Amino acid sequence: MSYWIHIARSIDRVTLHKDRCSEVPSTSIGSSSDFWEGGWFDYLDKERALAAMEQAGTTEQRRCPLCKA
């Protein structure tokens, strides 16, 4: 299972999602930027995704309430 992180710099938050979460854009292939001046980034395992969350430089780190990542 892969994981996605969504970095939203304008609201100073990074969120962890599972690959099949409904919040993950269906058109994402690899990494994609969005209007939040951040983006969506995929990782092959949870450990790498969590490490990337720590290095994102945001104040708030959370797990998606929908997919319970």
* Mean pLDDT computed over 60-65: 94
* Mean pLDDT computed over 21-43: 72
Nearest residue to 23 (alpha-carbon basis) of 34, 12, 11: 34
**Is the pLDDT score of 8 beyond 80?**
yes
Q: So what's the pLDDT on residue 29?
A: 52
Q: So what's the pLDDT on residue 32?
A: 53
Structure tokens at 67: 């997919």
Residue 1 pLDDT class (50, 70, 90 cuts): confident
Average pLDDT, the chain: 85
9: exposed, middle or buried (C-beta count within 10 Å: 0-12, 13-18, 19+)? middle
Contact 48, 5 (CB under 8 A): no
Contact 67, 6 (CB under 8 A): no
Q: pTM of the prediction? A: 0.81
Domain ranges of the chain: 3-63
Nearest residue to 18 (alpha-carbon basis) of 28, 3, 34: 3
